[in-house]
Each structure stands twice: as C-alpha cells, then as structure tokens.
C-alpha cells in the first residue's frame, strides 16, 4: 500500500464507520446539552428560561469556541459543523492506530486491518463511556487525538505528539490525564524539555478561555467536599462515577483485559520504548483509576472528582487490549493462534456475540493468509460493520429523531413565543425532551438527561432535582405548555398540536 492508498483507506474506513458501524448520533446523548448551550451562547435570546443554559459547563473546554467560530466563518448550523469535526477527529484517531500498528512492527496491510478492528469501538461498562463516541462531543474529539499522540510518540515525533495531546486537553481535559502522567514520566527520564512548550501553551489558553467564558453564572468550587445531600443526588443520577456501585460486577473484566495486553506484548516482543511506555503506562493508570476514584471521591469526598471522572480512564485498558490483540493476531504465524487473538479483538465491539466473533475472527485470520490480502482485508473491514449488528444483534443506539418529533419541534419553534417553557410530565427517563429543546429552541422545564449536570454545578443539580420531583405537576410555576403521549390524552380539552406520538396542551 502506498501512502496515498493508506490515506484513502483511512478516509473510507472513517466514512464507513460513521454511516454503518459503530455509526453516529446527534442530539441523543451529550449533544442535547452542548447544542442547547451553543445555541444560547450564539443567541442569548434563545432558551433564556432553560436552567441548563443559564449555567453552561463549558468553561474548561474550547469546544464551544471552535463550534461558534466555525459557525461565524461558514454560516453553517451547529449540527453540520459538529458532524464535520467528528469525521475529522475520527480519521485522526484511526491514523494514530495505524501508526501504532506500524511501530509495533506490522507492514501496511496488516496495520490497516488492526485499524479497521479498532474502529469498531467498544462500550466501557461500569464507568459508562465509549471507546469510539457516537456523538460529536468534546470527549469524542479528545480520545482520537490521544491515540494519535501515542502513534506519533511511537514514531519518535515527541513534539507533534505533545501538540496532539495538547489539542485533546483543550477539548476535554479530564480525558487526557493518563497520557500526561506517562508523558511527564518520560520527560523526567529523557529530559526533552522542548516538548513542554505545547502543553504549557495549552494551559495558558485554557486559563484565558475559562476567565473570559461567556454566560457563566455559577462558580465551580473544585477544592470543596461533597455534602451528604449532593452525594445522594449524584449516586442516584450519576452512579457511573461511584465505583463502589459497580466494581464487583465489572472490574475483573478489566484485569483480564490488562492481562491480555501483557500477554500480547510478551508474544510480540516489541522493543519500541515509547510504545511500551504509553501502552503499558496508560493501561496501568486506567486500571488504577478505579481504586484512586474510590479513595478521592467516596472516601475524601473531593468535589472535583465527579467532573474529572477518573474511572473513565478504563477506556484505555479496553482500547489497548483490542489494539494489542489485533496486532498479535496479525503477527501470529499459525491460523489457530491468529483466530484466538482476533476473537479477543472482536469480542468487545461484538459484545461477546459468539457467532459474530467466530465469523469475524476466522475472516481476519484467512484474509492475512490469502495472496490478495489487501482486498481480503477490505472485505473483512467492511463486512464486520454488517456482521456485528446483523449476526451479533448489536444495536449501539435507538433512533429517536423521528418525523413526529421533528413536526412537534417545528410547530413549537414557529407557533410559540421564544421564551416559552414546555414540560414533559409523562416521559420519565426518555430522551425526547432534550431533542425537542435543541430542535425547537424552546426551554424544557426539566428532563432526565439534563440531570447529568449534577456532576458539574451543585446549585443547578439541586434546582434540577426540585423540578424533577415536581415534573408531574403540569401547572408548576413557569410552565406554559405541557406535552403528553397520546395514551394520556385529556378527555375534555382539545390539544393545540397533535400527531401520532405527541399532544400539546396549554398549562392553563
């Protein structure tokens, strides 16, 4: 494979992954909140009565500055801008994986197979995070940049590795701490102080951006302790941060994955010092993040920890386990050994579906054995994106952006006042209210997804909890309209808007 062919393959793999598997979403998870904040920062008259945008949690990220700057530059909407950025960052991440595979000693075609396997992503159960984010969120941009930084470091490009990791820091600082711990340890040993320039610049930029952040009304107190009431609320709404609630069920899986990393490393006998530092170092930090999180959050009650979410570093254990297993599979000489390594690599994205794992592992092993292996690898790479959802029955996300919800959002945007507030008293934990907020640009009284802000802003969390307990009171102060499902139709009142999924009534 030439460099042009390699670049084309990475672009094709990125596009296929975005469209097929693992796919992408918008306004179904965190972008519900980020888009609402961005729309309010863009036009303060929009969503002015929504509690989520009154205290935006974007002070310590340049995500909002990038998005708003690109909107000014291009005139495009936030959805198109963020999805374009998602495509770019995913491609950069796959380039990083490809560089890591080359640094491990593979030739270009097998390295591309490793890249294709890793591109399938994985769900990190327990801390509830994704290896390949479906949404164009800050973490979804930062994680690929970190793997790119590892790939550049493995090719002895420390300054460029530092630049990539610094860009990740500017987008989502909490995700980057495992990289920086290893990075500074290497700096101490190798004394290449020039590589400190990018992170130093990034730190200055972040401090300036946080100082001049628009729209912040609640100060974040990083060095306080979490009180009993806030702890109770966070344990209820953000249980993924509290490792005592899930470690017994899942932690042994990560120990096994770390053992797989060590076994693959021993089998490969990789002598690349930089690669050894980052792969083993970040995986060890990921494993240790569980007891560290328990100590700092659950014992010391440090208020910063729900924002830092240290246990989510477990994604590097899963990510490097998939990566090293795929590399070992490509390096193995016998079909049986290749099959076993590839089965381990496909196990996480296929969520343990035995038949899908067996089909894909056999296909990958045979692809490297065939004479025209570049073509065979391409077939296996694209085929996996069909086998996992079809044979393995893996559905990464529901499709919630329906025509009926779009109709409701359009009606609200065109037929109600800009400062109107809508309540969804019968929707419980469903995600449609957050989608409505971002599409209609109308305030939502309270929704379950918005409760995730209890990690960042305690006062907002308390206000959210008070509203959540009152969500069945359609006549609560400040509500102009309430939205019901058709089975909750009011018998003696005509709705202002109705379709097969939604009914809208005035609050009085």
Q: How many CA atoms lie within 13 A of 437 on its CB side?
A: 37
How confident is the model over 242-258, as pLDDT tens digits?
999 999 999 999 999 99
Contact between 60 and 210 under an 8 Å Cβ cutoff? The reply is yes
- 311 shares its domain with 427: no
Kindly write down the DSSP assignment for every residue of 142-198, as one continuous string. HHHHHHHHHHHHHTT-HHHHHHHHHHHHHH-GGGGHHHHHHHHHHHHHH--GGGGHH
Query: Tokens 């930029």 appear where?
Result: 205
- The answer to whether residue 398 sits within a structural domain is no
- The answer to whether residue 441 sits within a structural domain is yes
Going by pLDDT thresholds of 50, 70 and 90, the confidence category of residue 105 is: very high
- 250 shares its domain with 104: yes
Query: Which token pair is 472?
Result: 């069945």
- The answer to whether residue 395 sits within a structural domain is no
How many domains does the structure of the chain reveal? 2
How confident is the model over 51-71, as pLDDT tens digits?
999 878 888 899 999 999 999
Query: Tokens 């305690």 appear where?
Result: 458
- 408 shares its domain with 385: no
Kindly write down the DSSP assignment for every residue of 307-336, as one continuous string. HH-GGGGHHHHHHHHHHHHHHHHHH--SHH
Respond yes or no on whether the N-terminal peptide bond of residue 248 is cis (omega within 30° of 0).
Answer: no
- 353 shares its domain with 385: yes
- 349 shares its domain with 458: no
Query: Which token pair is 92?
Result: 């950069």
pLDDT of residue 71: 98
- 452 shares its domain with 384: no
How confident is the model over 372-387, as pLDDT tens digits?
889 999 999 999 999 9
Query: Tokens 């359009």 appear where?
Result: 410
Q: What is the mean pLDDT of the chain?
A: 93
pLDDT above 90 (res 234): yes
- The answer to whether residue 396 sits within a structural domain is no
Choose the final residue of a domain: 336, 356, 390. Answer: 390
CA distances (Å), 351 to each of 173, 262, 489, in order?
A: 29, 22, 40
Distance CA 385, CA 279 (A): 26
How confident is the model over 408-462, as pLDDT tens digits?
999 999 999 999 999 999 999 999 999 999 999 999 999 999 999 888 888 888 8
Kindly write down the DSSP assignment for every residue of 253-280, as one continuous string. HHHHHHHHHHHHHHHHT---HHHHHHHH
- 317 shares its domain with 464: no
- 351 shares its domain with 494: no
Angle between helices 158-171 and 138-154 (to 10 degrees): 170
Note the residue count of the chain.
508
Instruction: Quickly count: other Cβ atoms within 10 Å of residue 273's Cβ.
Output: 14
Q: Would you state the torsion angle of the CA atoms of residues 471, 476, 478, 480, taken in this order, to the nearest 10 degrees? A: 80
How confident is the model over 151-182, as pLDDT tens digits?
999 999 999 999 999 999 999 999 999 999 99
First to last CA, the chain: 68
Choose the final residue of a domain: 356, 390, 424. Answer: 390
- 428 shares its domain with 340: no
Q: Give the three-state DSSP class for 69.
A: helix
- The answer to whether residue 495 sits within a structural domain is yes
Contact between 134 and 86 under an 8 Å Cβ cutoff? The reply is no
Q: Which residues contact 229 (CB under 8 A, 6 or more apart)?
A: 462
- 379 shares its domain with 414: no
- The answer to whether residue 213 sits within a structural domain is yes
Choose the final residue of a domain: 363, 390, 417. Answer: 390
pLDDT of residue 473: 74
- 477 shares its domain with 409: yes
How confident is the model over 327-373, as pLDDT tens digits?
999 999 899 999 999 999 999 999 999 999 999 999 999 999 887 88
Burial-class residue 209 by CB neighbours within 10 Å (0-12, 13-18, 19+).
Answer: middle
- The answer to whether residue 301 sits within a structural domain is yes
- 41 shares its domain with 176: yes
- The answer to whether residue 93 sits within a structural domain is yes
Name which of 81-85, 188-192, 216-220, 271-275 the model is least confident about. 216-220
Structural domain for 207, as ranges: 3-390
Distance CA 386, CA 377 (A): 15
């Amino acid at each position: 494979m030439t460099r042009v062919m390699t670049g084309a393959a990475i672009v094709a793999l990125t596009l296929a992954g975005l469209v097929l598997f693992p796919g992408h979403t918008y306004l179904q998870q965190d972008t519900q909140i980020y888009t609402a904040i961005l729309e309010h920062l863009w036009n303060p008259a929009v969503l002015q009565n929504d509690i989520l945008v009154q205290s935006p949690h974007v002070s310590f990220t340049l995500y909002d500055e990038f998005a708003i700057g690109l909107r000014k530059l291009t005139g495009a909407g936030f959805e198109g801008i963020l999805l374009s950025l998602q495509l770019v960052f995913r491609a950069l991440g796959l380039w990083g994986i490809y560089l890591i595979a080359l640094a491990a000693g593979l030739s270009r075609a097998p390295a591309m197979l490793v890249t294709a396997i890793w591109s399938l992503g994985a769900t990190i159960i327990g801390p509830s995070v994704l290896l390949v984010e479906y949404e164009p969120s800050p973490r979804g941009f930062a994680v690929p940049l970190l793997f790119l930084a590892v790939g550049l470091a493995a090719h002895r490009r420390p300054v460029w590795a530092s630049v990539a990791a610094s860009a990740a820091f500017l987008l989502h600082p909490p995700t980057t701490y495992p990289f920086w711990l290893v990075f500074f340890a290497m700096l101490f040993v190798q004394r290449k102080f020039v590589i400190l320039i990018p992170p130093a610049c990034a730190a200055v930029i972040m401090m300036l951006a946080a100082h001049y952040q628009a729209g912040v009304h609640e100060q974040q107190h990083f060095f306080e302790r979490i009180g009993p009431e806030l702890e109770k609320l966070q344990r209820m709404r953000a249980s993924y941060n509290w490792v005592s609630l899930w470690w017994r069920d899942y932690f042994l899986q990560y120990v096994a994955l770390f053992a797989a990393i060590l076994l693959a490393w021993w089998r490969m006998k990789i002598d690349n010092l930089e690669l050894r530092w980052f792969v083993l170092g970040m995986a060890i930090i990921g494993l240790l993040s569980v007891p560290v999180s328990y100590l700092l959050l659950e014992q010391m009650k440090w208020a910063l920890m729900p924002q830092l979410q240290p246990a989510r570093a477990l994604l590097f254990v899963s990510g490097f386990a998939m990566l090293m297993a795929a590399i070992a599979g490509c390096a193995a000489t016998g079909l049986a050994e290749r099959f076993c390594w590839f089965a381990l690599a496909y196990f996480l994205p296929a969520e343990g579906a035995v038949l899908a794992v067996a089909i894909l592992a056999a296909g990958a092993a045979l692809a490297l054995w065939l004479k025209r292996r570049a073509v065979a690898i391409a077939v296996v790479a694209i085929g996996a994106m069909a086998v996992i959802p079809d044979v393995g029955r893996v559905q990464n996300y529901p499709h919630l952006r329906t025509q009926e919800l779009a109709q409701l959002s359009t009606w609200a945007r065109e037929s109600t006042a800009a400062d109107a507030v809508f309540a969804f008293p019968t929707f419980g934990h469903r995600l449609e209210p957050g989608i409505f907020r971002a599409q209609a640009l109308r305030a939502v009284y309270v929704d379950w997804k918005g409760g995730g802000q209890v990690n960042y802003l305690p006062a907002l969390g308390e206000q959210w909890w008070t509203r959540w307990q009152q969500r069945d009171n359609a006549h609560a102060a400040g509500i102009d309209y309430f939205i019901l499902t058709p089975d909750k139709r009011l018998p003696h009142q005509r709705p202002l808007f109705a379709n097969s999924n939604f009914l809208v009534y005035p609050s009085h």
